[in-house]
């Protein structure tokens, strides 16, 4: 659903609810005026402790005709000194949740007393409202009347400026693309297999004139010498796909720059013959969350018509046990000619990424970013808020980190020291796809991938924690499942490269 964005002065347009952000201590001219029109009801609620302004708190009031809007949602931002874009996104989600039985239209009263600039406020509130209003229950058939209703129109109660309009529309586009990536990650594996994901990519490319898609099946994968990707997909009757999207703007700012985006797209991961425990295996439909973020990320770049060339490569496969499945002890030959001893078939993500990284470089990618739900140890380290990432270039590392901070797709740099490489040495092949030591598994995976990343800046994002949630995160991600992590990061990184 495309959410309509309007900018109008308070009272100029009818809405179903007015959202009023509250920081601690309460301030702002807008809050004072609304409180006066409500005969001091907000002040009395604050004095009674019912309205505290805590981050993520929402209090819904009926105005009984005292305002043009029939409802006011008072939404907490937390301590005024700590208010940032994430606090505003969380406020947007709280308002969307409070209006889940109403939906319709919502006006946000911007607060000029906050340290966050108004365009940044607008973008964050729009993003939070759309992302926070998302429901994963599209397969429910009972109680359809009880499904949460989404906000269909967002009004920013302020006089319009080009900066405010651009920021709000950017927030809406990126939030909608983020939710599209969530839809893909939440699709059950009996609906979304590698071939179905490829169909989504082709349909996405058809939406944008400068975006094209190409899909390689098993025969083409073998012809390219992609022994690692082919091996991972052998155990399933749903054969693997290499999905390639190219974005070629008519007038790129730097014609010699090609942003390479690589996504792990394991549409279901049972672990292969090194089978996973049964508990929570149903969440392994989300092992393609990196691919989903990559796909909708390049879609966002195309929708924004950014003047930067980009290529996205998704390595899609199902990792299942079966008579044709690859085995521990197998030695695979990747597309760059290097050989890999398999010691664990559940370390399959780095195998498919190896061939995809090689392909992105072969096609001319100058700056590469890969996204993958790769290691459980990274989730143990950083939880469900930050992704960890590794980079072979200091400048590229800093640009990726800055894009993460601006976008809300947060990440944190980890070391890529050369001496970690010895842990994936093999006595029989060029390397092995893991280590028997229970140490440093995220960095060992990164050192493995570095062997296939080619020449030039490269960053590997291990998004195992924030890519697919088991429960509400307590901020603007309020439901379990896919988060669309990577869409906003990719868009910010592409904007930075223009």
Catalytic residues: 276, 350
Q: What is the dihedral of CA 99, 102, 103, 109, to 10 degrees?
A: -50
The residues, any chain, with a CB within 8 Å of residue 459's CB and separated by 6 or more, are 368, 369, 370, 389, 390, 391, 392, 396, 397, 400
- DSSP code at position 251: S
Instruction: Spell out the residues 6+ positions from residue 354 whose beta carbon is closer than 8 angstroms to its own.
Output: 228, 229, 334, 335, 336, 340, 448, 449, 451, 452
Contact between residue 7 and residue 162 where contact means Cβ atoms under 8 Å apart:
no
Cα–Cα distance between 357 and 171 in angstroms, integer? Answer: 30
End-to-end, the C-alpha distance of the chain in Å comes to 29
Map tokens 């197998």 to a residue.
330
* Contact between 38 and 67 (Cβ < 8 Å): yes
Q: Report how far residue 75's alpha carbon sits from residue 35's, in angstroms, rounded to the nearest whole number.
A: 14
| CA pair distance 302, 252, nearest whole angstrom | 12
What is the dihedral angle through the alpha carbons of 27, 29, 31, 37, rounded to the nearest 10 degrees?
140
Q: Residues 330-345, buried b or exposed e (16+ Cβ, 10 A)?
A: bebbbbbebbbbbbbb
From the list 314, 287, 325, the residue with the least C-alpha distance to 189 is 287
Residues sharing a CB contact under 8 Å with residue 463, sequence separation 6 or more, in sequence order: 289, 290, 293, 371, 372, 373, 374, 387, 411, 485, 486
Neighbour tally for 251: CB within 10 Å: 6
- In order, the DSSP letters of 328-389 are TT-EEE-TTS-EEE-S-TT--HHHHHHHHHHHHHHTT-SEEEEEE---HHHHHHHTTT-EEE
| Best CA proximity match to 105, nearest among 206, 183, 15, 9 | 15
């Amino acid at each position: 659903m495309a959410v309509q964005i309007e900018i109008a002065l308070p009272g100029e347009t009818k809405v179903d609810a007015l959202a009023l952000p509250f920081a601690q201590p309460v301030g702002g001219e807008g809050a004072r005026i609304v409180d006066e029109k409500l005969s001091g009801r907000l002040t009395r609620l604050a004095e009674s402790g019912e309205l505290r302004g805590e981050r993520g708190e929402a209090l819904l009031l009926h105005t009984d005709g005292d305002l043009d809007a029939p409802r006011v949602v008072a939404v907490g931002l937390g301590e005024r000194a700590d208010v940032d874009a994430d606090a505003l996104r969380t406020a947007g989600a709280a308002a969307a949740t409070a209006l889940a039985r109403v939906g319709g239209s919502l006006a946000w009263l911007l607060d000029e007393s906050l340290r966050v600039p108004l365009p940044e406020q607008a973008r964050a509130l729009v993003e939070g409202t759309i992302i926070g209003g998302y429901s994963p229950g599209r397969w429910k058939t009972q109680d359809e009347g009880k499904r949460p209703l989404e906000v269909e129109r967002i009004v920013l109660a302020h006089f319009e400026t080009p900066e405010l309009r651009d920021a709000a529309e950017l927030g809406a586009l990126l939030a909608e693309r983020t939710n599209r990536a969530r839809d893909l990650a939440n699709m059950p594996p009996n609906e979304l297999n590698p071939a179905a994901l490829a169909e989504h990519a082709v349909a996405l490319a058809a939406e944008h004139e400068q975006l094209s898609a190409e899909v390689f099946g098993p025969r083409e994968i073998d012809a390219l010498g992609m022994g690692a990707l082919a091996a991972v997909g052998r155990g399933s009757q749903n054969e693997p796909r290499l999905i390639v999207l190219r974005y070629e703007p008519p007038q790129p700012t730097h014609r010699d720059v090609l942003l390479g985006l690589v996504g792990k797209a394991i549409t279901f991961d049972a672990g292969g013959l090194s089978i996973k425990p049964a508990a929570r295996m149903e969440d392994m439909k989300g092992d393609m969350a990196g691919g989903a973020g990559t796909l909708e990320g390049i879609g966002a770049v195309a929708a924004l018509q950014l003047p930067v060339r980009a290529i996205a490569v998704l390595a899609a496969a199902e990792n299942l046990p079966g008579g044709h499945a690859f085995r521990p002890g197998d030695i695979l030959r990747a597309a760059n000619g290097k050989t890999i001893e398999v010691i664990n078939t559940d370390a399959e993500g780095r195998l498919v990424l190896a061939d995809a990284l090689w392909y992105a470089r072969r096609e001319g990618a100058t700056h590469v970013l890969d996204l993958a739900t790769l290691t459980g140890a990274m989730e143990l380290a950083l939880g469900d808020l930050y992704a960890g990432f590794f980079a072979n270039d200091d400048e590229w590392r800093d640009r990726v980190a800055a894009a993460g901070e601006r976008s809300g797709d947060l990440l944190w740099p980890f070391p890529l020291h050369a001496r970690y490489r010895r842990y994936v040495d093999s006595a029989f092949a060029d390397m092995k796809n893991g280590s028997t030591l229970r140490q440093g598994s995220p960095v060992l995976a990164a050192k493995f991938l570095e062997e296939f990343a080619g020449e030039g800046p490269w960053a590997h994002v291990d998004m195992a924690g924030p890519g697919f949630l088991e429960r509400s995160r307590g901020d603007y991600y309020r439901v379990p499942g896919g988060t669309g992590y990577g869409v906003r990061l990719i868009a910010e990184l592409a904007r930075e490269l223009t």
